[in-house]
Chains A and B, each alone.
Chain A
Amino acid sequence: MHPAFSVIFLTTLIGAAQGLFLALFTVQSYAAFKLLPQPDAHAFYGQGSLLALVLLVAGLGASFLHLGHPERAWRSAAMWRTSWLSREVIVLPAFMGVVFLYGLAHWMDWHPLLMALPGGLPVDPTAILGVAGTLLAFALFICTAMIYACLKFLGEWHSPLTVINYILLGGASGFTLAAAFAAVTAPELVSFLGGWAAIITLLGLVSRSASLYRNARLKPKSTLQTAIGIKHPRIVQNTQGFMGGSFNTREFFHGQPVAVLRGVKWFFIVAVFPVPLLLLLSGMQGGAAVLAVAFVVQYAGLLAERWFFFAQANHPQNLYYQSIA
């Protein structure tokens, strides 16, 4: 497939935002059970939600660049019964709304007691919004990944690993960002968030390696024989029927030499996993700049990871477009 930068930015930006929000509410949950010190609500939760919201808006903006008719984008909420893309279109704004309300509730110090848990723990609107946001964050990860994973003839994508990778890689970049953000706003949380960022990054390394291993051994179901229905081991295309380009030759081919593909793959393997891990460990003592670099490197790596994710997918329609003349 031809990697579209609009979709690369959409999926990586909202992934980091979802991970960041999950990190914020993880801290709130731990603090509610007195497992972590309560950070400054304005600075940590308020500004943290704002940061997540900025990333989400940027991602949403990038997604509009993908459309031929962005002014009709509202129509895309219609077919949520059948289309994962439609479901994503519904869940993304819902998640943005909850993140906004969550940040606002913390910013306004809105903590009326709604009810109490059996242990006597108070439940306020931020807790309710946090749980709703957590569910929506995971729903959004699933919707985004299922857009690709549901296409059964794109074997590289049609796997549960696609969903797991989107959750873990988005989570890893979000927690790394949260660690860097905490170094500025709540230094006492840096080691907690940095530790989780490292753990999720390691889990991401396992699942992404598994999908790389799986995809390298994938045998395409469709062949030139099934594509034109002729039973002969040797079939070559003499001409695809035209000499200029077409949508079919642009949209489904990345057009890069194998060396570029391999280079991008090794760049993302290094930039998403070992380098941020080392930076996270060395920045755990509160080095905000080091942690910020960890996020920037990991995000750059994720851009490459997403580019490779698209480029690696081999569409069966390419069988029909092998030779110009």
Chain B
Amino acid sequence: MTQLALVIDLNVCVGCQACVTSCKEWNTAGSAGPMVDQNPYGADPTGTFFNRVQTFEVGEFPNTETVHFPKSCLHCEDPPCVPVCPTGASYKRKEDGIVLVDYDKCIGCKYCSWACPYGARELDEQQQVMKKCTLCVDRIYDTSMTEDDRKPSCVKACPTSARLFGDIHDPQSAVSIAIRESGGYALMPEWGTHPANHYLPRRKTRIKIHEDELERADNPLKVDRQLPRPAMSEPTLDDVTTW
């Protein structure tokens, strides 16, 4: 069984919002569209988005870190939004695990949005149906595109390659390897929704330098103390200084 998903690397996301705009651009023109904005140039603009990038500050000054956090539908393996739908408009595809909404069946009761703890679903104010990330289902299977282009629009747009796309049930896929080897985690695990999308944590590269790496403890010439121990201020190349 296939479960397509995004893996988002918080270590490299720079919060540029390119995925947000390219998502909106592709999907407003695609089968999920239009994603019309209301009052776009007024005081209180609003509109439908499938993807947002949020920013959090972790820690207290001066030890703070800014974390940019892209958020879209997580295509849960056990999606709580699907069973509550009274019409069956909300469904999870067996063949690839994508959670979709049938816009012709949706009655706009908003119940599925209540049942999603992540706030991944938005009611389109113009079409009055529930909309959400489709993982660019109208793109990833489009054989008229080159193989390289058959990826979600947000993945293609990311300038830092913070977004990976693939099958998390295939242990050899790039996304599975990333989750396995780089500490991929799911959001709000307490609800048992088993989100397919995973996040890779912030990582710091640190090296631990031991004393004996600065000064060779096992220098054969010093083992029996035949030569005077050089002072720390002297050049450290034993072979040069102690001869």
Residues of A within 8 A of B (CB): 1, 66-70, 72-73, 75-79, 82-86, 89, 147, 150-154, 221-222, 224, 226-230, 232, 234-242, 244-248, 251-252, 315-318, 320-321
- List 3 A-B pairs, minimum CB-CB distance, nearest first: A68-B108, A68-B128, A317-B119
Q: Given the complex, which residues of A lie within 8 Å of B85, measured CB to CB? A: 79, 83
Cross-chain contact of A238 among B66, B82, B119, B187 (Cβ < 8 A): B66
Residues of B within 8 A of A (CB): 17, 20, 39, 44-49, 52-60, 66-67, 69, 71, 80, 82-89, 105-111, 113-119, 121-123, 125, 127-129, 185-191, 199, 201-202
Q: Given the complex, which residues of B lie within 8 Å of A82, measured CB to CB? A: 82-84
Q: A72-B107, A75-B105 given as contacts; is B56 within 8 A of A244 (CB)? A: no
Closest to A87 in B: B86
Cross-chain contact of A232 among B59, B80, B185, B186 (Cβ < 8 A): B59
Q: How far is the CA of A1 from the CA of B44 in the complex (A)?
A: 21
Closest to A157 in B: B114
Task: Show 12 A/B contacts (Cβ-Cβ < 8 Å), sorted by A.
Answer: A68-B123, A226-B187, A226-B189, A227-B188, A232-B58, A238-B57, A239-B54, A240-B52, A316-B118, A316-B188, A317-B119, A320-B54
Q: How far is the CA of A151 from the CA of B122 in the complex (A)?
A: 18
Q: How far is the CA of A227 from the CA of B189 in the complex (A)?
A: 9
Q: Please state if B87 and A245 are interface contacts (CB–CB under 8 Å).
A: no
Q: A83-B83, A228-B69, A238-B66 given as contacts; is B108 within 8 A of A69 (CB)? A: yes
Q: Please state if A222 and B122 are interface contacts (CB–CB under 8 Å).
A: no
Closest to B82 in A: A82
Q: Given the complex, which residues of A lie within 8 Å of B201, measured CB to CB? A: 229-230
Q: Given the complex, which residues of B lie within 8 Å of A317, measured CB to CB? A: 116-119
Question: Nearest-CB distance from A322 to chain B (Å)?
Answer: 9
Q: A226-B187, A239-B55 given as contacts; is B88 within 8 A of A78 (CB)? A: yes
Q: Given the complex, which residues of A lie within 8 Å of B67, measured CB to CB? A: 228, 230
Question: Nearest-CB distance from B199 to chain A (Å)?
Answer: 6
Q: Please state if B86 and A235 are interface contacts (CB–CB under 8 Å).
A: no
Q: How far is the CA of A73 from the CA of B86 in the complex (A)?
A: 9
Q: Please state if A247 and B122 are interface contacts (CB–CB under 8 Å).
A: yes
Q: How far is the CA of A100 from the CA of B197 in the complex (A)?
A: 51
Q: How far is the CA of A152 from the CA of B109 in the complex (A)?
A: 19
Q: Please state if A251 and B188 are interface contacts (CB–CB under 8 Å).
A: no
Q: A226-B187, A245-B46 given as contacts; is B118 within 8 A of A76 (CB)? A: no
